[in-house]
């Protein structure tokens, strides 16, 4: 168990990292700048993280795990009841209103980490689809249908996340359902 000073220092460094990524982008961050913004010296920063990549990796991994916990709890509830569109949308809406609202700056920063081993969006996508398949494999025996549903569920979550981060607005479940029904009617 880490002591309170270590936890506080980690929080300061992580908050400074998120702020700097959101202001200047990951590629432009230096350790000196990060230490200065976090109000710690470089040696302290290096005691906590080997470099900015290790810090980014830690935040990506931690956030995917936390997001996975949030979505797993909601998918489990949805899978244990009659699976319908309204309930699935409530799952997404609850996730959005609880987790995303509380972590908007962090998610904004991490979504910019693309095209590398740090690609947060790619990791999150794989985890969302994995969890969907895990919880709905029993009620969707056709593997191709399950893959399609997992992909669509993932698109709904990531699309909602993109919308919130881009527009700084939180859509309600009713609004999401109305728009999904309109898209479905247009396509089919």
Q: Over the stretch 54-96, which tens digit does the pLDDT of each residue have?
A: 999 999 999 999 989 888 877 777 776 565 656 666 666 777 7
For 101-127, give the DSSP string: HHTHHHHHHHHT--SSTT-HHHHHHHH
% of the chain beyond a pLDDT of 70:
91
Determine the pLDDT at residue 133.
93
Quick one: CA torsion of 94, 120, 143, 80, rounded to 10 degrees? -20
Determine the pLDDT at residue 176.
80
Q: Round the average pLDDT of the chain to a whole number and report it.
A: 88
Residues 1-49: name the CATH superfamily.
Homeodomain-like (1.10.10.60)
pLDDT band per the 50, 70, 90 thresholds, residue 13: very high
Domain boundaries defined on the chain: 1-49, 56-187
Q: Is 8 exposed, middle or buried (0-12, 13-18, 19+ CB in 10 A)?
A: exposed
Q: What is the pLDDT of residues 95-134, one digit of tens each?
A: 777 788 889 999 999 999 987 788 999 999 999 999 999 9
At a CB cut-off of 8 Å and minimum separation 6, what does 15 contact? 38
The DSSP output letter for 40 is S
pTM of the model: 0.86
**Are the beta carbons of 38 and 45 closer than 8 angstroms?**
yes
Determine the pLDDT at residue 49.
96
How far is residue 86's CA from residue 68's CA, in Å, rounded to a whole number? 21
**Are the beta carbons of 12 and 47 closer than 8 angstroms?**
no
- State in words which class domain 56-187 has: mainly alpha
pLDDT band per the 50, 70, 90 thresholds, residue 20: very high
User: Which position has the token pair 């990531």?
Assistant: 158
């Amino acid at each position: 168990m880490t002591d309170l000073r270590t936890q506080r220092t980690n929080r300061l460094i992580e908050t400074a990292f998120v702020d700097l990524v959101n202001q200047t982008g990951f590629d432009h961050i230096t350790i000196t700048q990060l230490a200065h913004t976090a109000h710690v010296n470089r040696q302290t920063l290096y005691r906590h993280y080997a470099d900015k990549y290790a810090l980014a990796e830690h935040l990506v991994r931690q956030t995917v795990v936390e997001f996975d916990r949030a979505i797993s709890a909601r998918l489990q509830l949805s899978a244990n009841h009659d699976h319908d569109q309204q309930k699935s949308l409530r799952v997404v809406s609850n996730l959005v209103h609880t987790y995303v609202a509380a972590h908007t700056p962090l998610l904004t920063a991490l979504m910019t980490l693309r095209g590398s081993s740090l690609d947060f969006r790619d990791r999150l996508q794989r985890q969302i689809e994995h969890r969907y398949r895990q919880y709905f494999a029993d009620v969707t025996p056709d593997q191709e249908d399950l893959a399609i549903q997992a992909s669509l569920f993932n698109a709904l979550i990531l699309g909602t996340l993109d919308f919130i981060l881009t527009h700084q607005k939180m859509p309600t479940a009713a609004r999401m359902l109305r728009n999904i029904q309109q898209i479905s009617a247009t396509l089919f």
